[in-house]
Amino acid sequence: MPQDALAMLKDGNERFAVGAPTAGKVHQSMRADLNNMGQAPHTALVGCADSRVPLETVFDALPGDLFVLRNATPAHMPRAACLAAWSSAPDGHALDLLLQGLRSVAETA
């Protein structure tokens, strides 16, 4: 459900903000499980390509939790491009988000 996915993102961001992430390292058994399960992320994100803001880290997410597409200026992506990006996300995800930074290097270049 979208509200559950949003709650997970908010909780993860709070953990990141206070310096108490729980995602940790990925172990071999987790990689094997992910390979066998296929993709089943709860959220598809289109966000900024800024190397200082890795979305998986900012939301304290484990591999497989998020389907992330990064673009230098997501706010300027045509609506059709956003829809195409989201349609490439695995079926069954609960939430779609388009994130924009306050000041993009690409926008000021």
CA distance 103 to 90: 30
Q: What distance in Å separates the CA atoms of residue 109 and residue 105, rounded to the nearest whole number?
A: 6
CB 74 within 8 A of CB 99: yes
pLDDT, tens only, 42-82 = 888 888 788 888 899 999 999 888 888 887 765 556 655 65
Q: Under CATH, which number does the domain 2-21+41-108 receive?
A: 3.40.1050.10
Q: How are strands ordered across the β-sheet holding 43-48? A: 66-71, 43-48, 95-98
* Annotated domain spans of the chain: 2-21+41-108
Residue 61 CA, chain-centre distance (Å), reads 8
Tens digits of residue pLDDT in 3-25: 898 999 999 999 999 999 998 77
pTM over 0.85: no
48 annotated as belonging to a binding site for a ligand? yes
Which pair of structure tokens corresponds to residue 46?
A: 């289109």
96 assigned binding-site residue:
no
User: Residue 72: CB partners within 8 Å, gap ≥ 6?
Assistant: 48, 49, 104, 105, 106
